[in-house]
Amino acid sequence: MIRCEQIKVTFNPGMATEKRALRGVDLTIPQGEFVTVIGSNGAGKSTLLNTIAGDIRCSSGKLSFDDRDVTGLSAAARTADVARVFQDPLAGTCGQMTIEENMALAYGRGKRGGLKLALNERLRKLFREQLARLNLGLEDRLDAQMGLLSGGQRQSVSLLMSALQPSKILLLDEHTAALDPKTAALVMEITDQIVAEKQLTVLMVTHSMRQALDHGTRTIMMHEGQVAFDLAGEERSNYGVKDLLNLFAQIRPDGEELDDDKLLLGA
Protein backbone atom coordinates (compact mmCIF):
# COMPACT_ATOMS: atom_id res chain seq x y z
CA MET A 1 0.00 0.00 0.00
CA ILE A 2 1.17 3.50 -0.82
CA ARG A 3 -0.08 6.45 1.20
CA CYS A 4 0.74 10.05 0.28
CA GLU A 5 -0.30 12.68 2.80
CA GLN A 6 -0.14 16.33 1.77
CA ILE A 7 3.01 15.79 -0.27
CA LYS A 8 4.51 19.01 -1.56
CA VAL A 9 7.54 19.35 -3.80
CA THR A 10 9.02 22.71 -4.73
CA PHE A 11 12.00 23.03 -7.05
CA ASN A 12 14.44 25.94 -6.58
CA PRO A 13 12.55 27.37 -3.60
CA GLY A 14 12.94 31.12 -3.11
CA MET A 15 14.46 31.67 -6.54
CA ALA A 16 13.04 33.29 -9.65
CA THR A 17 12.77 29.82 -11.22
CA GLU A 18 10.77 28.46 -8.28
CA LYS A 19 8.40 25.73 -9.39
CA ARG A 20 5.76 24.18 -7.17
CA ALA A 21 5.58 20.80 -8.86
CA LEU A 22 3.39 19.05 -6.29
CA ARG A 23 1.00 21.14 -4.24
CA GLY A 24 -0.30 18.84 -1.57
CA VAL A 25 -1.04 15.40 -3.00
CA ASP A 26 -3.27 13.10 -0.93
CA LEU A 27 -3.47 9.62 -2.36
CA THR A 28 -3.97 6.16 -0.93
CA ILE A 29 -3.38 3.16 -3.14
CA PRO A 30 -4.31 -0.18 -1.56
CA GLN A 31 -2.16 -3.27 -2.08
CA GLY A 32 -2.71 -4.83 -5.51
CA GLU A 33 -4.30 -1.81 -7.16
CA PHE A 34 -3.17 -0.78 -10.65
CA VAL A 35 -3.47 3.00 -11.01
CA THR A 36 -3.00 4.79 -14.30
CA VAL A 37 -1.94 8.43 -14.13
CA ILE A 38 -2.76 10.98 -16.83
CA GLY A 39 -2.35 14.73 -17.10
CA SER A 40 -0.82 17.31 -19.40
CA ASN A 41 2.85 18.19 -19.51
CA GLY A 42 4.06 19.76 -16.28
CA ALA A 43 1.09 18.50 -14.28
CA GLY A 44 3.37 16.66 -11.86
CA LYS A 45 2.91 13.05 -13.02
CA SER A 46 6.59 12.21 -13.26
CA THR A 47 7.39 14.25 -10.16
CA LEU A 48 4.88 12.16 -8.23
CA LEU A 49 6.50 8.94 -9.45
CA ASN A 50 10.01 10.18 -8.76
CA THR A 51 8.95 11.30 -5.28
CA ILE A 52 7.56 7.86 -4.50
CA ALA A 53 10.75 6.27 -5.86
CA GLY A 54 12.88 8.61 -3.76
CA ASP A 55 14.75 10.40 -6.57
CA ILE A 56 13.07 13.61 -5.38
CA ARG A 57 12.69 14.50 -1.71
CA CYS A 58 9.34 15.92 -0.57
CA SER A 59 9.52 19.52 0.67
CA SER A 60 6.79 18.60 3.13
CA GLY A 61 4.24 15.86 3.69
CA LYS A 62 4.49 12.21 4.51
CA LEU A 63 4.91 9.11 2.37
CA SER A 64 4.39 5.61 3.70
CA PHE A 65 4.45 2.08 2.31
CA ASP A 66 2.29 -0.37 4.28
CA ASP A 67 2.06 2.10 7.19
CA ARG A 68 5.87 2.40 7.35
CA ASP A 69 7.06 5.99 7.06
CA VAL A 70 9.58 6.09 4.18
CA THR A 71 9.70 9.88 3.70
CA GLY A 72 13.34 10.06 4.83
CA LEU A 73 14.63 6.97 2.99
CA SER A 74 16.95 7.32 -0.02
CA ALA A 75 16.02 5.99 -3.44
CA ALA A 76 18.44 3.09 -3.07
CA ALA A 77 16.95 2.15 0.32
CA ARG A 78 13.42 2.18 -1.10
CA THR A 79 14.29 -0.29 -3.87
CA ALA A 80 13.53 -3.17 -1.52
CA ASP A 81 9.87 -2.20 -2.06
CA VAL A 82 9.95 -0.33 -5.35
CA ALA A 83 10.79 -1.46 -8.88
CA ARG A 84 10.77 0.93 -11.82
CA VAL A 85 10.71 1.02 -15.59
CA PHE A 86 11.67 4.29 -17.27
CA GLN A 87 10.38 5.91 -20.42
CA ASP A 88 13.73 5.85 -22.15
CA PRO A 89 14.66 2.24 -22.98
CA LEU A 90 18.32 3.23 -22.59
CA ALA A 91 17.77 4.46 -19.02
CA GLY A 92 16.62 1.21 -17.48
CA THR A 93 19.48 -1.00 -18.62
CA CYS A 94 23.27 -0.76 -18.99
CA GLY A 95 24.10 -0.80 -22.68
CA GLN A 96 27.74 -1.69 -22.09
CA MET A 97 26.92 -4.76 -20.04
CA THR A 98 25.51 -8.09 -21.19
CA ILE A 99 21.89 -9.20 -20.82
CA GLU A 100 22.79 -11.63 -18.03
CA GLU A 101 24.84 -9.01 -16.20
CA ASN A 102 21.95 -6.56 -16.35
CA MET A 103 19.60 -9.19 -15.01
CA ALA A 104 22.07 -10.09 -12.27
CA LEU A 105 22.09 -6.45 -11.20
CA ALA A 106 18.31 -6.41 -11.04
CA TYR A 107 18.36 -9.72 -9.18
CA GLY A 108 20.46 -8.00 -6.50
CA ARG A 109 17.96 -5.15 -6.08
CA GLY A 110 17.22 -4.42 -2.46
CA LYS A 111 19.99 -6.72 -1.23
CA ARG A 112 23.45 -5.82 -0.04
CA GLY A 113 25.92 -6.48 -2.84
CA GLY A 114 28.62 -8.71 -1.43
CA LEU A 115 31.80 -10.32 -2.66
CA LYS A 116 30.07 -13.31 -4.13
CA LEU A 117 30.15 -13.86 -7.88
CA ALA A 118 27.14 -12.09 -9.32
CA LEU A 119 26.37 -14.83 -11.85
CA ASN A 120 26.11 -18.59 -11.58
CA GLU A 121 24.43 -21.44 -13.45
CA ARG A 122 21.35 -21.39 -11.25
CA LEU A 123 20.76 -17.70 -12.03
CA ARG A 124 21.48 -18.18 -15.73
CA LYS A 125 18.81 -20.87 -15.82
CA LEU A 126 16.33 -18.55 -14.09
CA PHE A 127 17.15 -15.70 -16.50
CA ARG A 128 16.76 -18.00 -19.51
CA GLU A 129 13.33 -19.10 -18.29
CA GLN A 130 12.23 -15.53 -17.74
CA LEU A 131 13.52 -14.32 -21.12
CA ALA A 132 11.73 -17.18 -22.87
CA ARG A 133 8.41 -15.59 -21.83
CA LEU A 134 9.10 -12.67 -24.13
CA ASN A 135 9.23 -14.86 -27.28
CA LEU A 136 11.99 -12.63 -28.62
CA GLY A 137 14.65 -15.33 -28.78
CA LEU A 138 16.70 -13.53 -26.15
CA GLU A 139 17.02 -16.64 -23.98
CA ASP A 140 19.78 -17.85 -26.30
CA ARG A 141 21.64 -14.53 -26.19
CA LEU A 142 22.37 -14.18 -22.49
CA ASP A 143 25.89 -12.93 -23.15
CA ALA A 144 24.90 -10.44 -25.86
CA GLN A 145 25.61 -6.83 -25.10
CA MET A 146 22.49 -4.95 -24.02
CA GLY A 147 23.37 -2.05 -26.33
CA LEU A 148 22.87 -4.31 -29.38
CA LEU A 149 19.17 -4.83 -28.60
CA SER A 150 16.37 -2.73 -30.06
CA GLY A 151 14.46 -0.25 -27.88
CA GLY A 152 11.49 -2.57 -27.59
CA GLN A 153 13.67 -5.52 -26.64
CA ARG A 154 15.47 -3.46 -24.02
CA GLN A 155 12.20 -2.21 -22.57
CA SER A 156 10.85 -5.77 -22.43
CA VAL A 157 13.98 -6.92 -20.60
CA SER A 158 13.65 -3.92 -18.24
CA LEU A 159 10.17 -5.12 -17.34
CA LEU A 160 11.39 -8.63 -16.64
CA MET A 161 14.19 -7.17 -14.56
CA SER A 162 11.75 -5.18 -12.47
CA ALA A 163 9.98 -8.41 -11.57
CA LEU A 164 13.04 -10.54 -10.77
CA GLN A 165 12.98 -9.58 -7.12
CA PRO A 166 9.80 -9.71 -5.12
CA SER A 167 8.72 -6.10 -4.70
CA LYS A 168 5.42 -4.60 -3.73
CA ILE A 169 5.36 -1.51 -5.88
CA LEU A 170 5.97 -1.09 -9.59
CA LEU A 171 6.39 2.41 -11.05
CA LEU A 172 6.02 2.74 -14.81
CA ASP A 173 6.87 6.14 -16.27
CA GLU A 174 5.45 6.20 -19.80
CA HIS A 175 7.33 3.02 -20.42
CA THR A 176 5.76 2.41 -23.83
CA ALA A 177 5.90 6.00 -25.10
CA ALA A 178 9.18 5.55 -26.97
CA LEU A 179 8.10 2.33 -28.72
CA ASP A 180 6.30 1.64 -31.97
CA PRO A 181 2.61 0.67 -31.53
CA LYS A 182 3.17 -3.05 -32.04
CA THR A 183 6.04 -3.28 -29.57
CA ALA A 184 4.13 -1.03 -27.15
CA ALA A 185 1.22 -3.47 -27.22
CA LEU A 186 3.57 -6.38 -26.54
CA VAL A 187 5.20 -4.56 -23.65
CA MET A 188 1.79 -3.69 -22.18
CA GLU A 189 0.75 -7.33 -22.46
CA ILE A 190 3.82 -8.42 -20.51
CA THR A 191 3.15 -5.64 -18.01
CA ASP A 192 -0.37 -6.91 -17.33
CA GLN A 193 0.94 -10.48 -17.02
CA ILE A 194 3.62 -9.57 -14.51
CA VAL A 195 1.33 -7.34 -12.48
CA ALA A 196 -1.35 -10.03 -12.24
CA GLU A 197 1.15 -12.73 -11.42
CA LYS A 198 2.99 -10.82 -8.70
CA GLN A 199 -0.04 -8.98 -7.26
CA LEU A 200 1.81 -5.68 -7.51
CA THR A 201 0.69 -2.21 -6.54
CA VAL A 202 1.25 -0.23 -9.70
CA LEU A 203 1.41 3.42 -10.72
CA MET A 204 1.64 3.86 -14.47
CA VAL A 205 2.06 7.29 -16.02
CA THR A 206 0.78 7.40 -19.57
CA HIS A 207 0.09 9.97 -22.24
CA SER A 208 -2.53 7.82 -23.88
CA MET A 209 -6.10 8.12 -22.55
CA ARG A 210 -6.95 4.84 -24.24
CA GLN A 211 -4.16 3.06 -22.41
CA ALA A 212 -5.16 4.73 -19.15
CA LEU A 213 -8.70 3.33 -19.39
CA ASP A 214 -7.86 -0.08 -20.88
CA HIS A 215 -5.33 -1.06 -18.26
CA GLY A 216 -5.43 -1.11 -14.51
CA THR A 217 -8.25 -0.67 -12.05
CA ARG A 218 -8.21 3.05 -11.30
CA THR A 219 -7.32 6.26 -13.14
CA ILE A 220 -6.24 9.56 -11.66
CA MET A 221 -5.64 12.81 -13.48
CA MET A 222 -3.04 15.22 -12.25
CA HIS A 223 -3.39 18.94 -12.80
CA GLU A 224 -1.10 21.69 -11.51
CA GLY A 225 0.50 19.48 -8.92
CA GLN A 226 -2.68 18.04 -7.50
CA VAL A 227 -4.96 15.08 -8.10
CA ALA A 228 -7.74 16.66 -10.16
CA PHE A 229 -9.97 13.62 -10.30
CA ASP A 230 -9.96 10.00 -9.32
CA LEU A 231 -11.93 7.35 -11.20
CA ALA A 232 -12.46 3.78 -10.11
CA GLY A 233 -14.86 0.86 -10.22
CA GLU A 234 -18.04 0.94 -12.23
CA GLU A 235 -17.88 4.65 -12.93
CA ARG A 236 -14.55 4.12 -14.61
CA SER A 237 -15.68 1.16 -16.69
CA ASN A 238 -18.41 3.32 -18.19
CA TYR A 239 -15.96 6.00 -19.21
CA GLY A 240 -14.67 6.51 -22.70
CA VAL A 241 -11.88 8.68 -24.03
CA LYS A 242 -14.48 11.39 -24.87
CA ASP A 243 -15.72 11.50 -21.28
CA LEU A 244 -12.17 11.85 -20.05
CA LEU A 245 -11.64 14.77 -22.40
CA ASN A 246 -14.79 16.43 -21.10
CA LEU A 247 -13.53 16.03 -17.56
CA PHE A 248 -10.26 17.47 -18.69
CA ALA A 249 -12.02 20.55 -20.06
CA GLN A 250 -13.91 21.02 -16.79
CA ILE A 251 -10.77 21.33 -14.71
CA ARG A 252 -9.56 24.01 -17.06
CA PRO A 253 -12.40 26.50 -16.73
CA ASP A 254 -10.44 29.23 -18.46
CA GLY A 255 -11.20 27.44 -21.69
CA GLU A 256 -7.58 26.64 -22.26
CA GLU A 257 -7.27 24.43 -25.30
CA LEU A 258 -5.92 20.96 -24.92
CA ASP A 259 -2.73 21.38 -26.84
CA ASP A 260 -1.25 18.00 -26.24
CA ASP A 261 -1.83 15.97 -29.37
CA LYS A 262 -0.47 12.83 -27.86
CA LEU A 263 -3.04 13.02 -25.10
CA LEU A 264 -5.84 13.27 -27.63
CA LEU A 265 -4.70 10.85 -30.24
CA GLY A 266 -2.71 8.38 -28.22
CA ALA A 267 -3.64 4.84 -29.17
Partner 1 sequence: MSLFSFMGTLEIGFIFGLVAIGVYLTFRVLDFPDLTVDGSFTLGAAIAAALIISGVNPYLATLCAVFGGAAAGLVTAWLNLRFNILHLLASILTMTALYTINLRVMGKPNLALITEPTVLSPFESLGIPNMYLKVIFVGLVVLAVGLLIAWFLNTQYGMAMRATGANPRMAQANGIVVNQKIYAGLALSNALVAMAGALFAQTNGFADSTMGIGTIVVGLAAVIVGESLLNSRSMLIIVLGCIIGSLLYRLAIALALNADFIGFTTSDLNLITAVLVGLALILPQLRREWKARKAAKGDAA
Which residues sit at the interface with partner 1, rule CB under 8 A?
Answer: 53, 55, 74-77, 79-80, 83-84, 86, 90-98, 101, 104-106, 108-111, 113-119, 143, 145, 161
Q: Reduce the secondary structure of 27-76 to three states and give it as a string.
A: EEECCCCEEEEECCCCCCHHHHHHHHHCCCCCCEEEEEECCEECCCCCHH
User: How near is the Cβ of 84 to partner 1 at its closest, in Å?
Assistant: 5
**Residue closer to partner 1, measured from CB, 16 or 117:** 117
State how far the alpha carbon of 19 is from the alpha carbons of 44, 47, 48, 71, 173, in Å. Answer: 11, 12, 14, 21, 21
**Residue closer to partner 1, measured from CB, 63 or 83:** 83
**Residue closer to partner 1, measured from CB, 119 or 185:** 119
User: How near is the Cβ of 99 to partner 1 at its closest, in Å?
Assistant: 11
Contact 83, 169 (CB under 8 A): yes
**Residue closer to partner 1, measured from CB, 113 or 181:** 113
**Residue closer to partner 1, measured from CB, 24 or 108:** 108
Q: What are phi and psi of 98, to 5 degrees?
A: -80, 170
Q: What is the DSSP letter of 206?
A: -
121 CB burial (10 A radius; 0-12, 13-18, 19+): exposed
User: How near is the Cβ of 213 to partner 1 at its closest, in Å?
Assistant: 28
User: How near is the Cβ of 230 to partner 1 at its closest, in Å?
Assistant: 27
User: How near is the Cβ of 76 to partner 1 at its closest, in Å?
Assistant: 5
